[in-house]
Amino acid sequence: MSLRKENFSKIAVKNSLYTLSSVIIAKIGGFILTIILARMLLPELFGIYSLALSVAIIGITLTDLGVNTTSLRYMSDALGKNNKLLARSYFRFLLKIKGLLILVAIIIILILSKPLSTGVFNKPLVFLPIVFSCFYILIDSAREYFSQPFAARKDLRIFPPLELILQFSKIIFSLIAILILSYRLRIPGIFMAFAVSGFLFLTLEIFFLIKKDKEMVIGKISKIDNRKILKYIGFMGLTGITLTFFGSVDTLMLGRFVDAEYLGFYRAALTLVISISSLLPFSGVLLPIFTQIHGKRLDRGFEKSLRYFIILAIPMVVGLMFIAKYAILLIYGKEYLLATPSLFVLSFLIIISPVISLYSTLFQAKEKPRLLAKFMLISLVMNITLNYILIKILLNISQGYAILGAGVAILISNLFLLGILINKTKSQFNIKINKNPILKSILATAAMALFLWAFKNLIDIGIVSGTVMIILAAIIYLSFMFLIKGLRKEDLDLLNVLFKR
């Protein structure tokens, strides 16, 4: 259905519902898996796992180099013009590039596994996990690429049940690996568990793709502008690599300078923040929509998306800061309480990261990847520099302060990147931020924070009382937003559509 015939908000809400369902399943599964890994591996081995996972994520990025985003962008554009032949041609051309990148990335990871483990990180125990992570890299990269046709068609219905199968199998297979394998082989076994689970997901994904719309991938292809596609991939690839290093440089540098135990503390806090911020899953839904709308509709769509981010994210940050210690204790156990200071600092990423993602989506949709890559590269240099300086300086005090310094570095560099994106969005697209929703959300959050402070001082926090506190805090925030007209009638209409779906 054309975007001219279907309301932007309803399309976004419909697909956000499926995406949100998938994300909730993934995060619940991820939380359970994280708890299992953190508690059964303990901080030192959990730190080794986190370090190997960071290397694997970089490997997955090397298998992409912007191919996934490019496929989504151009397939969406072709389908918006009702040209399925062109969409299929884009998919098949980019599939060849994807296969080549997967092969190259795995070879690079295998060659570097020994030097990284013994020379760079000085942690020989991480060698085998890096090697076995190549299976995970292969499957996960393929799985992500075959998701793009569904997103381009704006048909995401199959992903909640597939995500449920993926998360359940990852938990079961990881548990088996931990219980039956020796200390040295547990983490390699976990990566094999991830690969097997991903293969199950990939098999079902391809089956449903062919069953629902085999013309998207099977049939004749037409000639496309390869040069234009490769140019777009080049800048998006640079953006992807930069973004991945941007998110991994803190872990990699801490892996060099601190013990695996402290790396485990830091990753525990960062994983919790990433899980919460991922509950704002609009960017992947909005890319095909932003690609097909222009002018005032684009302005309204972007402003509405940003407004929903703000309404949700600001109270999340403040709420997490109030319950940081209890969250760490409940999720990871008392062995991880040293992660609490890092969680305080990193909690601000719950606001910053999704908003950066939203602005980045706008630049991608409007074929401005060169500017986006430039901004991210500048911010990456700042991130690396700040991480090195702060970790080295604070390491003289303690390793606990060093991991806190890494959190401060990533926070400052993200704020810098967001500032650039906001400024350039005004000049490139003439889109300005409406400050009223931000101010109203801050005001309502202040009322919520006052309640949280009083509750914590009057009542001992346990599982039951903490749950009651969070529910009451959410009610107070929403009530205050309605009182000061921070929530509108159209928001209720969208909620009505959401519940009907």
Predicted confidence (pLDDT) per residue in 327-349, tens digit: 888 888 888 888 888 888 888 88
Residues 424 and 371 sit within 8 Å (Cβ to Cβ): yes
pLDDT at 260 over 60: yes
Of 90-99, 236-245, 270-279, minimum mean pLDDT range: 236-245
Residue 153 phi, psi dihedral angles, 5° rounding: -80, -5
pLDDT tens per residue, range 20-73: 677 778 878 887 888 888 888 888 888 889 889 988 988 888 888 778 877 887
Q: How far apart are CA 348 and CA 390, in angstroms?
A: 18
Under the banding of pLDDT at 50, 70 and 90, the label for residue 285 is: very low
Under the banding of pLDDT at 50, 70 and 90, the label for residue 127 is: very high
Residue 65 phi, psi dihedral angles, 5° rounding: 50, 40
pLDDT at 373 over 80: no
Region 131-145 average pLDDT: 92
How many Cα atoms are found within 13 Å in the side-chain-facing hemisphere of 176? Answer: 12
Q: What is the number of other CB atoms lying within 10 angstroms of the CB of residue 108?
A: 14
In 153-198, beta strands by DSSP E: none
Place of tokens 């496309």: 224
Mean pLDDT of the chain, nearest integer: 80
Q: What is the pLDDT of residue 489?
A: 65
Place of tokens 């956000």: 16
Q: How far apart are CA 221 and CA 351, in angstroms?
A: 43
Q: How many helical (H) and strand (E) elements, i.e. helices and strands, does the chain have?
A: 19, 0
Region 236-262 average pLDDT: 75
Sign of dihedral through CA atoms 147, 148, 153, 155? Answer: positive
- 122 torsion bin: left (phi>0), alpha (psi -120 to 50), beta (else): left
Residues 121 and 256 sit within 8 Å (Cβ to Cβ): yes
Residues 233 and 70 sit within 8 Å (Cβ to Cβ): yes
Q: What is the pLDDT of residue 236?
A: 65
Q: What is the pLDDT of residue 159?
A: 83
Measured CA angle at 418 (ends 414, 423), to 5 deg: 150
pLDDT tens per residue, range 411-454: 998 899 888 888 877 767 666 677 777 888 889 999 999 999 99
Token pair listed for 317: 């940050």
Which of these, 124, 154, 110, lies nearest to 13 by C-alpha position? 154
**Of the spans 226-240, 248-262, 267-281, 300-314, which averages the highest pLDDT?**
248-262
Q: What is the pLDDT of residue 492?
A: 61
Residue 404, C-beta contacts closer than 8 angstroms, at least 6 positions apart: 341, 342, 345, 394
3-class secondary structure per residue, 415-452: HHHHHHHHHHHHHHHCCCCCCHHHHHHHHHHHHHHHHH
Of 279-288, 305-314, 373-382, minimum mean pLDDT range: 279-288
Q: How far apart are CA 187 and CA 130, in angstroms?
A: 9
How many Cα atoms are found within 13 Å in the side-chain-facing hemisphere of 440? Answer: 20
Name residue 287's amino acid.
L
Q: What is the pLDDT of residue 293?
A: 45
Q: What is the pLDDT of residue 279?
A: 64
Q: What is the pLDDT of residue 288?
A: 44
Q: What is the number of other CB atoms lying within 10 angstroms of the CB of residue 453?
A: 11
Which helix or strand (DSSP H or E) is residue 241 part of?
A: helix 226-257
Sign of dihedral through CA atoms 224, 70, 202, 209? Answer: negative
